[in-house]
């Protein structure tokens, strides 16, 4: 019986959103976000979501910010330091596109569909992946199945590309951070945000229709007597030809035959049209974790330091989850000694003064050398720049002065290297001064 139901479900058109025939509708959430009818009356899928300017801009910001970060490979050495390492996946994961475009497709899929899928095309002699083909999520069906191919919660993972089962070990699957317990497929944002996003789409459509039909509030024309269908159609058509569109905005309404024109009491301001659009913009930006300053919502009272702190928070709170997941899944495809890491030094840099003050503290404290600082500033090393300093007033408890502070002296008792005024005897002053 279950097989029959599965076959019927596969052939019958899927129902999306609330069923108008039911008393209270249906709370069922669409499985793929396609044609999700909602209360606002606008169907919502990933293509419709991108037609919303705020969604498009948020996804574009995430793509640009992640794809432009340097992704490098590092190999752990015996002294627990990292040495640069090379791997084909970190140079060009797919031969047809550079790394920046590959990362853009990864972020696009995760941000809008909750999952990225890639098929491993080639491997090296040791069996490690060397090329990955990015796939559109619509082509993939991922679920757990038993040995008879039936869906189950405890079976093995099965991936199908265009209906064909492919080896699980040949699939790179990067889900979003929203994965239900016991599942391995990330939640689709369009499915769970379709009510909010469709409201934003409805407000945009309403605004477009408002300016397309009239640049003034909707009016009611009162005509004495009764008009037949043809007379009514001709009357409305003539009025719209003279007053519809931006070119006829605010022209005086002239009607004859005793007809009167009265504006409706509900205006766009009364319906909170502008406020609704502003709220939906903030709501969508908050969902994607985009700060207001990056969406063009910069307050005039916001200082440069405040915007800088927003950028730092955006990097750590929004970008870092994307970066960590990409690093983890790519590292699993490479030899265990190599790890993939995004270089965030450029994004986490503070302003020039704060950065140089931090370098000074690190240099004087002894945990940064000159070449360490120059590396962070993308500058070449200098000769004798690998020495680390230690303050002279530091030493082991109970030693005075610290052993590191003692300097060898010459026969005259003067410290070598020009002497140290702090260790030299204080000069004596005569009791009296002769005139």
pLDDT band at 33 (very low <50, low <70, confident <90, very high): very low
Distance in angstroms (rounded) separating the CA atoms of residues 216 and 269: 12
| Predicted confidence (pLDDT) per residue in 417-428, tens digit | 444 444 445 555
Alpha helices, DSSP H, located in 51-114:
53-67, 88-91, 99-113
Whether the pLDDT of residue 8 is over 70: the answer is no
Question: At which residue do the structure tokens 């309403």 appear?
Answer: 206
What is the value of pTM for the model shown? 0.65
| Predicted confidence (pLDDT) per residue in 97-151, tens digit | 899 999 999 999 999 999 999 999 999 999 999 999 999 998 999 999 888 878 8
Residue 103 tokens read as 């990362």
Residue 28 confidence (pLDDT): 41
DSSP character at residue 315: I
Residue 142 confidence (pLDDT): 92
**Alpha carbon 70 to chain centroid, angstroms:** 16
Question: At which residue do the structure tokens 């574009």 appear?
Answer: 60
Whether the pLDDT of residue 311 is over 60: the answer is yes
Nearest CA to 116 out of 90, 137, 138 is that of: 137
What residue ranges do the domains of the chain occupy?
Answer: 219-263, 352-394
Give yes or no for a contact between 219 and 262, defined as CB atoms under 8 angstroms apart.
yes
Residue 25 confidence (pLDDT): 38
Give yes or no for a contact between 157 and 130, defined as CB atoms under 8 angstroms apart.
no
Give yes or no for a contact between 225 and 178, defined as CB atoms under 8 angstroms apart.
no
Whether the pLDDT of residue 352 is over 80: the answer is no
Distance in angstroms (rounded) separating the CA atoms of residues 282 and 321: 21
Question: At which residue do the structure tokens 């015996």 appear?
Answer: 78
Residue 96 tokens read as 């047809």
Which residues touch 316 (CB under 8 Å, ≥6 apart)? none
Nearest CA to 192 out of 49, 24, 29, 58 is that of: 29
Query: DSSP letters along 156-172, please?
Result: EEEEEETTEEE-GGGEE
Question: Lowest-confidence range among 71-80, 83-92, 265-274, 406-415?
Answer: 406-415
Residue 84 confidence (pLDDT): 80
Whether the pLDDT of residue 282 is over 60: the answer is yes
Q: Which residues pair with 409 in a beta bridge?
A: 415
Whether the pLDDT of residue 175 is over 50: the answer is yes
Strand 115-123, strand 171-175: pairing: antiparallel
Which residues touch 137 (CB under 8 Å, ≥6 apart)? 109, 113, 115, 116, 117
CA atoms within 13 A on the CB side of 205: 12
Residue 334 confidence (pLDDT): 92
Highest mean pLDDT out of 150-164, 188-202, 226-240: 150-164
């Amino acid at each position: 019986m279950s097989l029959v139901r599965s076959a019927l479900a596969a052939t019958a058109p899927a129902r999306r959103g609330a069923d108008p025939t039911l008393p209270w509708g249906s709370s069922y959430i669409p499985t793929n976000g396609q044609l999700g009818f909602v209360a606002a009356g606008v169907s919502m899928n990933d293509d419709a979501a991108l037609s919303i300017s705020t969604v498009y801009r948020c996804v574009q910001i995430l793509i640009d910010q992640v794809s432009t970060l340097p992704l490098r490979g590092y190999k752990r050495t015996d002294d627990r330091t990292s040495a640069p390492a090379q791997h084909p996946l970190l140079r060009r994961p797919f031969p047809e596109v550079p790394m920046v475009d590959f990362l853009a497709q990864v972020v696009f899929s995760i941000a809008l569909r909750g999952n990225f899928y890639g098929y491993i095309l080639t491997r090296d002699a040791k069996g490690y992946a060397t090329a990955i083909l990015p796939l559109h999520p619509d082509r993939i069906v991922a679920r757990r199945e038993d040995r008879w191919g039936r869906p189950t919660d405890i079976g093995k993972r099965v991936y199908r590309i265009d209906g064909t089962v492919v080896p699980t070990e040949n699939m790179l699957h990067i889900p979003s951070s929203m994965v239900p317990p016991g599942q391995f497929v990330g939640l689709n944002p369009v499915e769970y945000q379709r009510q909010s996003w469709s409201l934003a789409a409805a407000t945009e459509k309403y605004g477009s229709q408002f300016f397309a039909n009239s640049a003034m509030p909707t009016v009611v024309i009162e005509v004495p007597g009764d008009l037949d269908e043809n007379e009514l159609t001709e009357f409305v058509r003539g009025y719209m030809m003279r007053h519809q569109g931006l070119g006829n905005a605010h022209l005086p309404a002239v009607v004859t035959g005793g007809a009167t024109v009265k504006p409706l009491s509900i205006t766009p301001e009364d319906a909170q049209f502008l406020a609704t659009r502003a709220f939906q913009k903030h709501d969508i930006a908050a969902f994607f974790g985009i700060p207001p300053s990056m969406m063009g919502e910069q307050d005039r009272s916001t200082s440069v330091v405040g915007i800088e702190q927003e950028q730092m928070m955006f990097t750590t709170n929004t970008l870092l989850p994307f970066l960590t997941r990409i690093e983890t899944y790519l590292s699993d495809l490479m030899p265990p000694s190599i790890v993939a890491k995004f270089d965030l030094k450029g994004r986490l840099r503070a302003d020039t003064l704060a950065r140089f003050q931090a370098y000074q503290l690190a240099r004087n404290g002894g945990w940064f050398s000159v070449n360490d600082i120059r590396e962070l500033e993308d500058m070449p090393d200098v000769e004798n720049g690998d020495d680390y300093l230690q303050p002279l007033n530091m030493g082991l408890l109970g030693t005075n002065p610290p052993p590191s502070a003692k300097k060898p002296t010459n026969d005259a008792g003067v410290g070598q290297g020009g002497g140290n005024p702090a260790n030299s005897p204080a000069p004596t002053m005569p009791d009296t001064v002769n005139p």
